[in-house]
Each structure stands twice: as C-alpha cells, then as structure tokens.
C-alpha cells in the first residue's frame, strides 16, 4: 500500500481510533461547538460504523449536536437494533423530525421496525399525499420489490418539453424532495409507464424537444410482488441504476435504486451461505446466545436422526466388524470423504442455481458432469486410500473394501449432491437445504453398506480379509 | 404472480423460447431485414443471455445484422469464453470497430482476454490519448481498483462556471464519449481531486455559479492498488454510485461505477461460498470434467490425509472396540455431529469477517459466543443421543460415553471453528480455508479420543459397559 492509499484508507477505517478518542474527549470536556463541527465533517456512514465505540452518555451528547438532516442519514445507516435503542430514548416528535428529511423508501424501512402506535402517530404527521405513498410501500412484505421501492420520482407526460421538465424538477427539489434523482419517468394517460429520460439528457438536448422524442422506451420493469432476489438479478444482468415498479395495469408505482440492491445481493448471498453451512437464521451481533443455539439446534437434531440411521445400518455388520476390527477406524474415512464430495457438488450446484446459470436445457449436463467429477475423484482417492491401507496392513482384502467403498460412496455423492438441489428448486424449496443431512446420510449409508457388505462377502468366501 | 408481472417477467425471461424460435426462423428463411429489427428490439443483455441457444451458422447471421454499437454492448455482456469464440472467427479490424464504441473500462476487460499481438494491434488503432488511458487500466492486475476503473470522465477546474461545464460536457458527448456520465469531477492544479458535482446540480443551480461553490468535497476515494473486495465494501457502506481512484499524489486517475461493483460483490460471495464447500476454483460452464476434477482433488486428498490421522487415533482403541462392537456405529454419529457444528461456526465467522462485522474489539466476544452456542447444543444433542442409546441398548455405560463424547466434540467444534478463520485472517490467509480438514479433523480426533477413552476407562473399572 502506498502513502496515499493509506491516507485515504484512513478516511474510511484506519483513523477510527483517533476519531473516536477525539469525539469522546470533546464530549468529556463539553466543547459542544467543536464537537458539532467534528461530527459534521464525518460522513454519516462513518459515524454509524463507529457508533458502538461510544457509551450511553456520549451517544446522547452526539445526538444532541447532529442537524436533523445529518441525523436522518445517520439513522438509515445504523443497524435496526441500534436504531431502536435510540428511538426508545426519544419521543415520536423527535423521530418524525428526522424521518421528514428522508425519502419514502428509507422512511418505510424505519417504520417497519416501530410499533404500530408510533407508526400511526408519525404517519398522521406527514401530509396526506406523502402518507399515502409510504403506506403503499408498507403494504408489500419485506423481501419484495414493493417494499424496496421509493415512491419519490418525477413522472412527466409524453408531450412535456425539456423546458417544462426542468422547471418541474426545480420545483420539486425546492420542496426538498428528489435530491438524488437520476431519471425522469415518462408516463402515458392513466400514469402508465412508457419510458425514462436520464437526467443528463436534459442538459444535452434542445429545450424545446419533447419527452417522447428523447426517452428510452420501457424495456425492463417489475411488479411490486416480485421477490427481491429476482430484482437483484435483473439489476446485475442489465447493469441498471434504477428499475421501475408497475402495477398490474402498468401504472408506475415507484422505482428501485441500485444502492438498495447492493444490500439485497449481500443479504441473499449471506442467507445461502449460512444455509449451506447448516445455519438457518443467524445474526451473531443481534441475537442472544440462547437464540443462536436454538436457531442451529434443529439442523443438528435432524442430523442426529439421520446419523442414527446410518449407525443403524452399520449395526447389521457387527459380526463382520468384530471379526476385522480394523474396519471401524476406516469407516470414518468413508464417511468423511462422502460428506466432502457431497458438499462440493451441493455448493457448486446451489451457487450456479442462485446465479441463474442452470436452466432446463443444461440441467442434465450439469448433473452428469458432477457425477463424472466425483466418480473420477472417487477412483483417484479410492486407489490412493487402498494403497495406503495395503502398505499399512499388508491385507489386500481390506484395501479392496476401501477402494470399492470410496468409489461407490463418491459416485453417490456426485449424484445426490447435484440432483437434490435441482429437485428442491423444482418443488420451489430452497436448494441450499440440500447441504443438509439427507444427502450426506444417503451417501454415508450407501458407502458403509458397500464397504462392510464387500467385507462380509469376502469373509464369507475366504474366512477372513 | 399477477398478469402484468408475468408480462414483464416475459421481457426478461419467460418468453425466451418464443424469441429464440423467432430468431432461428428468421435466420432459416434468411429474412435479414426482419431479423435485424427483431434483434435490435431486444436488450443486448437479453441477446447475450440467449446466446447459447443458437447454433454456429445462426450466430454468424445474427452478428452480421448487429450495428457496431449494439454489438459492442452485447460483447461486454457475454461470458469471456463465448466472446473469445466470436473473436476467433473475426479479424482484429472487426474487433476494433466494436471496441471503439465502448468506454475504457469495458475495453480493458475485453483486451485482457486477447493475446498480446491482437491487443497491441488494436491499441495502435485508437488515438494516442485514448490508448494511454486504456494502458493505464491494463497496468493494474485484475482484482484491484485500478483494473475496475474507467478513465472516461469529465474533470473541471475549481473555478469553472456551470455554463462552461455544460458546454464541455456537450462537446465530449458529441465525440461519443461519456454517455453514461453521472458526475463531474472537480480538480485542483496538477489534476488533484478535490470534489465532485452530480449532473443534476448543473440543472438546478444558476449557470454563473462556480464548481467549488456547488461541489461536494472529496470524502471517500481509493488508490489503484486497493483490492476489489474493499472497494465493494466502501460502495456498500457509503451507498455510492461512483468512487474516484487517485494516485499517490492525489491525482485523479479514473472512477469506478456501481454496476461493476455489483459484479464484484457476486464474485466475492461465490468465491467464499465455493471455498467453504471445499471447491477451490470452479466454473462448471467453462471447465472440462478433468479440469473440474483436478480442481477439487487437492481438497479431497488433504482430507484423506487428515482422516487417516483420525482413523489412526481410533486404532489405539481396537481392544475397546472389539470388546464393545456397538461403539463402532456410534462413532459415525460423533464424527458427523462434530463436522456439522464445526461447519456452522466456520460459516458464521467467515461470513461475518467478509461483511466486516468482526473487529479487534469484539473478536473475543464472537469466539466466546460461538463456543457457548455449540456447547449448549452439545449438551442438548448429547442428552438426546444418550437417551436414544440407552433406550435402544439399556446400557448406561455406552450412553454415558455418547454423552461425554458429543459434549466435548461440540465444545471443540465451536472453539476451533470460530478461532481458525480469525487466525487465518490475522496471517492474511483466506478465512474460508478453515472450512477445510484441519478444523474438522481436530474436532473428530478430540471427539473420538474422549468417546473411546471414556469407554476404555469404564471397561477397565467395571469390566464392561
């Protein structure tokens, strides 16, 4: 890292200790004018990132110095638990004054966390038109396009000239709305969405030109019930900055902006990743130990049940095991490799499904490839393990059992690990559930059966291994 | 899904079969005028998404109908292997004509995949100034801010008036550059970055105002060597649309736009996820079966080696095992639960590290919590398993071994699974490597030792279980 990189890295992270100690000191000596200036020179996101470094009295003093506008942006950047903690110490009038500075989508996000009484109290304070817009967003459940959208936008008619669009835009901004506008939307009679105009076009084109002459026609849009994962995929595929949300008649309800989608992408990736790791719901920074343990216990319990199943399969072979006790430690190798190969196939297929890379056309090819890959590796690992076992024990029978056990185990791992996520998706279930015990146990049961079954046959034939 | 949602979903996915068959048909009957119109009514991304549905002669005909501008955008949306296949059938002049339509960052992405001879040939054809800009981007390795940045931007002096900025902007767009501009950058003498102006400000402010009066001061920026994961995190935290890249003296080199960062976020999540699943490098749609198998084999081999280690530990207890053969099947439960609990802890901690939620201050709290969670679940699962074993076997000794084995196994799982990623990160290694065999084997070895050790002690004391 060169000097400037360090310098600018500072702006985002490395100088946190200095900033924190400066702010704490200014609180302690009650130099509020200086504190105010120091805070406002900081990006609201930076203050949010630093928030857990301050104690309660400091937080109170800091909040007292923030302008409503700054506080509003700061609140949207805080985690919802930290925001709630602040709201508990403030009355609804204080909250309203800050929310007033925000756009409809951010207001809706914050209101979702409040209790219904406070929400209603705050909604009544907004002007009627604005309340309606926020209520429209709140109507849609979290995780949908409707809940993500902002109702703050400028919609103009097909026949509006650039000149009139610019003056409408200026008027709206004067009323403290639409500060972040990137696009003007063009609508038909009845507010039906027909196209959009990037703001820069308003500068580049002659002021007498009409909206319909310079607009980009409507190509991609979503309904408010669309799930956020699909929304994120559309943004990614089409490199969008904004996506219009329309109702069943094509009427423009709002638009989703790319910054919200960035968060969605992270959320969805986190969800998939945790589920693959056997963690259903987890938020380590918010949940209590007991909550976290409860959240993971179901998974472990189901696993226990299925492991009991494979243990039960093994008990059928207790005679074989007592004849050749060495088979017991080797079982751990069979189980371990089957589990690994299953997870490899599941992970690759689940991620490919999430990225939309698997479709009806190539699904059988994908499964065949996974089976091929794990079978190939089964032969390699099986051969290697058999050689190890033989050189350690000098017993070809045991080595042969090891080889057949691993090959069949890993063949099944590829088959089950790649098919199960696809089947789950076909039934509209989460493919990541395939990382669970069903696949691994099935693989284990097959592996153990072949391993111990071959051993039993050989012992029957030759009286030993 | 309501009707319009279906209708608009069509625009992005559900009507693909119809579009494909229409395009194929137009190719077959050689109605090129109609084909051209049909193709250009499609979003370039949609054509890229459909590309693998067409055969070679169809592809050739489609490419022949695309305007250079459309083809350019289409090429940036294609996967690099599909793009290469097209380039193999075209000469460098054809490639140049399409690249010419693109911005510097997209050109650089495409040139990285070409061989040096073609790259040089193409670079010589651009005008000197433009070639310099592209070479600047190519200088930085993939995965850095420099490689992600675009050198197309408008930089104005502090003292420029809005009027002059607008006219500079208009002139640049006339020369077919900067079509997607969202910001004007403000620079000091020597091109040092001092602030930026959102395009909408050029409409909203009086045309006589100066850049320095209306600009947002420079707050967040990165050096060209900064890794793309950090860049993505800055975008996410600060809700940016664009991030300036500056050299060690603060000179503006270029800027990164949010649409490129969306791809980075997905890439990084995929990388982590696959690594957690034991897959180092994988691109199932590009790699051959042998390549994929080779990519996963190292992981399986290391796993084999460590599993042999735990199998070896187990061999020390063969006398115990031969006395109570029922211990063998139960070992599979111990191993399985330890593996699951380890993966749960590793997944949560690796994801929290990637999201920047773990810092020096809370790291010991995070580890303590993970140990607490898995210990708590160890008691629950251990009790449950012991009851199961007792009701099946009526042998309290075996049930007791099961309980102590599971409790100690899961305690170790929480400890190793949470600490190992943190330690790896401290040594600047990838935390996701912790999902690997080291953690699980260590857990298994402890679990097996306690389980079989307690059994051995009890047998020594009571002569049986």
Mean pLDDT of A200-214: 91
pLDDT recorded at residue A405: 94
E strand map for A168-291: 183-187, 193-198, 216-217, 242-246, 252-257
Q: What confidence category does residue B280 fall into, taking pLDDT thresholds of 50, 70 and 90?
A: low
Interface contact B276-A347, CB threshold 8 A: yes
- According to CATH, the superfamily of the domain at B18-148 is MgtE N-terminal domain-like (1.25.60.10)
Q: Domain extents for chain B?
A: 18-148, 155-259, 289-462
Helix, strand or coil, per DSSP, at residue B427? coil
Evaluate whether A378 touches A407 at the Cβ level (below 8 Å).
yes
Written as six digits, the tokens of A87 are 């709201």
pLDDT at B402 over 90: yes
Model confidence over A136-167: pLDDT tens digits?
999 999 999 999 999 888 999 999 999 999 99
Q: From the CA of A223, how many Å to the nearest CA of chain B? A: 5
Q: What confidence category does residue B10 fall into, taking pLDDT thresholds of 50, 70 and 90?
A: very low
What percent of chain A has pLDDT above 70?
A: 94
User: What residues of chain A lie within 8 A of the CB of B373, using their CB?
Assistant: 289, 292-293, 296
Q: What confidence category does residue B113 fall into, taking pLDDT thresholds of 50, 70 and 90?
A: confident
Interface contact B278-A347, CB threshold 8 A: yes
User: What residues of chain A lie within 8 A of the CB of B344, using their CB?
Assistant: 277-279, 296, 299
Helix, strand or coil, per DSSP, at residue A286? coil
What whole-number distance in Å separates Cα of residue A254 and Cα of residue A193?
10
Mean pLDDT of A172-183: 72
Of A296, A337, A369, the CB nearest to B303: A337
What whole-number distance in Å separates Cα of residue B173 and Cα of residue B181?
9
Q: What confidence category does residue A286 fall into, taking pLDDT thresholds of 50, 70 and 90?
A: low
- H-type alpha helices, A355-431: 363-393, 396-426
B406 CA to centre of own chain: 36
What percent of chain B has pLDDT above 70?
A: 94
Q: What confidence category does residue A176 fall into, taking pLDDT thresholds of 50, 70 and 90?
A: low
- According to CATH, the superfamily of the domain at A16-142 is MgtE N-terminal domain-like (1.25.60.10)
Model confidence over A241-282: pLDDT tens digits?
899 999 999 999 999 999 888 888 888 888 888 888 877 665
pLDDT recorded at residue A196: 92
Interface contact A43-B219, CB threshold 8 A: yes
What whole-number distance in Å separates Cα of residue B409 and Cα of residue B447?
4
Evaluate whether A61 touches A27 at the Cβ level (below 8 Å).
yes
pLDDT recorded at residue A224: 95
Written as six digits, the tokens of A357 are 């890379």
Mean pLDDT of chain A: 87
Which residues lie below 8 Å from residue A390, measured CB to CB, with a gap of 6+? A396, A398, A399
pLDDT at A313 over 80: yes
What whole-number distance in Å separates Cα of residue B319 and Cα of residue A428?
50
User: In angstroms, what CA-CA distances link B279 with A188, A347, B282?
Assistant: 52, 8, 7
pLDDT recorded at residue B251: 94
pLDDT at A6 over 50: no
pLDDT recorded at residue B162: 94
Q: What ipTM was estimated for this complex?
A: 0.78
Interface contact A2-B310, CB threshold 8 A: no
Q: From the CA of A272, how many Å to the nearest CA of chain B? A: 9
Mean pLDDT of chain B: 87
Can you name the CATH fold of B155-259? CBS-domain (3.10.580)
pLDDT at A418 over 50: yes
Q: From the CA of A147, how many Å to the nearest CA of chain B? A: 16
Q: What confidence category does residue A66 fall into, taking pLDDT thresholds of 50, 70 and 90?
A: very high
pLDDT recorded at residue A253: 94
Q: What confidence category does residue A226 fall into, taking pLDDT thresholds of 50, 70 and 90?
A: very high
Interface contact A344-B277, CB threshold 8 A: yes
pLDDT recorded at residue B178: 62
pLDDT recorded at residue B355: 81
Q: Do domains B18-148 and B155-259 have the same CATH topology?
A: no
User: What residues of chain A lie within 8 A of the CB of B372, using their CB?
Assistant: 289, 293
Q: Largest Cα–Cα distance of chain B, in whole Å?
A: 98
pLDDT at A378 over 90: yes
pLDDT at A27 over 90: yes
What percent of chain A has pLDDT above 90?
A: 44
pLDDT at A362 over 50: yes
Model confidence over A67-81: pLDDT tens digits?
999 999 999 989 888
Q: What are the two backbone dihedrals, phi and then psi, of residue B20, each rounded to the nearest 5 degrees?
A: -60, -45
- According to CATH, the superfamily of the domain at B289-462 is SLC41 divalent cation transporters, integral membrane domain (1.10.357.20)
């Amino acid at each position: 890292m060169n000097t400037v990189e360090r310098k600018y890295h500072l702006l985002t992270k490395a100088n946190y200790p200095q900033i924190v100690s400066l702010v704490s000191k200014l609180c302690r000596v009650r130099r509020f004018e200086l504190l105010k200036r120091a805070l406002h020179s900081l990006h609201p996101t930076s203050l949010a990132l630093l928030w857990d470094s301050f104690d309660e009295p400091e937080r109170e003093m800091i909040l007292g110095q923030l302008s409503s506008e700054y506080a509003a942006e700061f609140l949207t950047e805080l985690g919802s638990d930290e925001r709630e903690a602040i709201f508990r110490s403030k009355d609804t009038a204080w909250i309203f004054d800050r929310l007033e500075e925000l756009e409809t989508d951010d207001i809706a996000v914050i209101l979702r966390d409040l209790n219904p009484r406070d929400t209603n109290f705050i909604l009544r304070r907004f002007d009627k038109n604005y309340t309606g817009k926020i209520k429209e967003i709140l109507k849609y459940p979290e995780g949908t396009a409707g809940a993500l959208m902002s109702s703050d936008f400028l919609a103009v008619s097909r026949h509006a000239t650039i000149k009139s669009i610019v003056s409408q835009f200026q008027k709206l901004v004067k009323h403290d709305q639409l500060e972040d506008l990137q696009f003007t939307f063009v609508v038909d009679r009845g507010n039906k969405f027909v196209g959009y105009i990037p703001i820069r076009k308003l500068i580049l084109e002659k002021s007498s030109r009409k909206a319909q002459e310079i607009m980009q026609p409507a190509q991609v849009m979503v309904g408010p019930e669309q799930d956020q994962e699909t929304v994120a995929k559309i943004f990614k595929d089409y490199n969008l900055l904004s996506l219009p949300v329309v109702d069943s008649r094509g009427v423009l309800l709002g638009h989703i902006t790319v910054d919200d989608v960035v968060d969605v992408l992270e959320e969805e990736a986190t969800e998939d990743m945790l589920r693959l790791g056997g963690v259903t719901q987890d938020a380590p920074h918010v949940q209590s130990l007991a909550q976290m343990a409860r959240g993971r216990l179901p998974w472990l319990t189901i696993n226990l049940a299925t492991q009991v199943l494979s243990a039960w399969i093994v008990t059928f072979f207790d005679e074989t095991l007592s004849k050749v006790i060495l088979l017991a430690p080797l079982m751990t190798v069979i189980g371990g490799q089957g589990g690994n190969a299953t997870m490899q196939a599941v992970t690759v297929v689940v991620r490919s499904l999430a990225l939309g890379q698997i479709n009806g056309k190539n699904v059988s090819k994908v499964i065949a490839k996974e089976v091929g890959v794990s079978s190939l590796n089964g032969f390699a690992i099986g051969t290697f393990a058999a050689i190890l076992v033989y050189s350690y024990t000098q017993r070809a029978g045991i080595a042969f059992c090891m080889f057949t056990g691993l090959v069949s185990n890993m063949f099944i791992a590829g088959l089950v690990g790649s098919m199960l996520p696809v089947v789950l998706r076909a039934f509209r279930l989460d493919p990541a559930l395939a990382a669970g015990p069903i696949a691994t146990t099935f693989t284990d049961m097959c592996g153990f059966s072949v391993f111990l079954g071959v051993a039993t046959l050989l012992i029957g034939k030759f009286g030993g291994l």
